Every structure is written in structure tokens, then in C-alpha cells.
Amino acid sequence: MVKPLPRQMKVLGHRFLAALGISAIPIGILAPLAPSWWDGKWWLVLLVGVAAAGWACLGLRRREPRQTYRENVTIRLVVGDLFNQGASVLIGMTTTFDTSVPDVIARGSLQGNFLHEVYGGSQHKLDHNLDQALTAVAPVGTITKAGKQTVYPVGTVITLSPPGPIRYYCAAYTTMDNQNRASGTIRGVLDSLDNSWDQVDVHGNGDPICVPLIGQGQSRIPELTPEIAVRLIAFSFLLRTKRSRFSSELRIVIHPAEQHKINLPEFQAFLTSLVTS
């Protein structure tokens, strides 16, 4: 686990010195007025030092990044369960829209959790919904492999509406080879995000949309690190919002086991920098 310790120590030092500087203002005013009052009160120095250190440490608390923009939209990063947000969700898939768990799709993957959390483990129900939604999409070919063999364009996004108010936007940003190994590109992720926002615009009624840390794990996009992925998602969302407001909130949801992969203060600084973009 790699943590940005040098940057944290730099922030800690700056806050500590700033606190000492603020403390020196009333001391500098009072000392000439009552010089004898300070005799023997060495403990005041210790008290000021402890207070400054406490205030400095307080600034290092891990706050979940959040920023509101003039387009009346909010971008948040939330550490928690993607399927327990009470909002619609983007689900990354392959261009063959495979669903077989665990033969093709890993049980612990996002798509594996989607099958079990939303469809109760029923591959038949999920396939039925996918097939219905895909009737409006023209395939681009076939592939000889285990599992599904019809291939759809990279960037294809279809909307599933199981019983209930929550919608699931299934975005195909990776491809499968003959051995069912997934791979993708940043261009494919960007196209999938753009098409997802269009689907949210049509079906979402302006409600929040939750997006996981896409492009990780078995997606095999090595250049798309977690730090790059969260910025890419946020920037894509805000850029599309400048054309028309389609969702009140983007909620990037990080699993608790993966939160160490994101420097939260730096991501907050990135979100803040987009205010004037």
C-alpha cells in the first residue's frame, strides 16, 4: 500500500506553522501590556504547541471529496457499497455482454456482484433483459469462444430497468479474446462514458448516477490508474453537463478495500480546480 506520506507531512507542517503564527498575534499584543504576567508561565508555550499540532492533524482527516458547480450539479466521491446508494448505477461490461458466473465472469467482479445483488443470481433473467435491450443495437460481428459470441460496438450502452425505480446502465468498454480475456482502451472508456450520459439524459429524470472505479481489475487497461480513472469520470461528466444538465449528481463509489488507491485531498483539489474550467 503506497500512501502519499511526504505530501501529508508537508501539509501538516504548513498547518502547524500557520497555527503558531495565529497564536503569536494575541501574544504579541498582550506581552507589552503586561510583561510580568508571563513570568513562570512556560506551560503556555507547551499549550500553544499542542493546540497547533492538534489543529494541524485535524486538517489531515480523510474527508470524502465533494464539489458543487455553477451548472447546479454535484460531484462526490463516496466510499461504500455501489448497490446500496439508492441511485442508478453504471455497470461496465464487455462487447459480448457475457454474464456466465464464474465460467466467464468472476464472481467477485462488479458484474458478478451485479448479477447476484440485482438479479438474485438468475443469469436467465439478466440475459432476458439484456437481449431485449440489445434488439435495437446492430452487432459488428462474432467471435469463437466459450460464452456469448455476438459482438457489439465498443461504447454500446443499454439501459436495464428491473422492478423498482433504479436503472442500470450497462456500458461495453472492453472486448473479449478467444480465451475470454478482457482488454480495453481509454478511448473505449471515454466513448462508453459519453454514451452513458446520453442514456442517463433519456432515462434518468435528472436523478443522481453512481459510477464505480472503471477500467480496473480484469478490464486490463494498465494506463488507466485509479487516480486517472476518477479524474476521467469526473471531467467527462462535467464536460457533458456544460452541454445540458442531465443529472443532479455524479457519485463515484469506491469500495472500502480500494479507498487507499485514491488520494482524497488531491482529488478534492482537482474537483475544485474544475470550478472555473
- CATH architecture classification, 66-276: 3-Layer(aba) Sandwich (3.40)
Kindly tell me if the per-residue pLDDT of 133 is higher than 60: yes
* Distance, CA of 74 to CA of 23 (rounded, Å): 36
At 157, is the secondary structure helix, strand, or coil?
strand
Give the DSSP letter string of 99-110: --TTTTS-TTSH
Rg (CA), the chain: 25
pLDDT digits (tens, 9 = 90+) for 216-238: 877 778 889 999 999 999 999 99
User: Per residue in 184-207, pLDDT tens?
Assistant: 999 999 999 999 999 999 999 999
Task: Record the cell numbers describing residue 1, joined without a space.
Answer: 500500500
Give the model confidence (pLDDT) of 35-67 as tens digits.
665 565 555 666 666 665 665 555 555 689 999
Residue 225 sits at the vertex; the CA angle it makes with 220 and 230, to the nearest 5 degrees, is: 115
13-17, 116-120, 157-161: segment of lowest average pLDDT: 13-17
Backbone φ/ψ region at 202: left (φ over 0), alpha (ψ -120 to 50), beta: alpha
> What pTM was estimated for this model as a whole?
0.79
Distance from C-alpha of 213 to C-alpha of 42, rounded to nearest angstrom: 52
3-state secondary structure of 136: coil
Q: Where are the domains of the chain?
A: 5-58, 66-276
Q: Residue 194's CB: how many other CB atoms inside 10 A?
A: 15
Percent of the chain with pLDDT over 70: 77
Cα–Cα dist 179/189, whole Å = 22
* pLDDT above 50 for 89: yes
pLDDT at 215 (0 to 100) = 85
Paired with 73 in beta bridges are 69
pLDDT at 162: 87
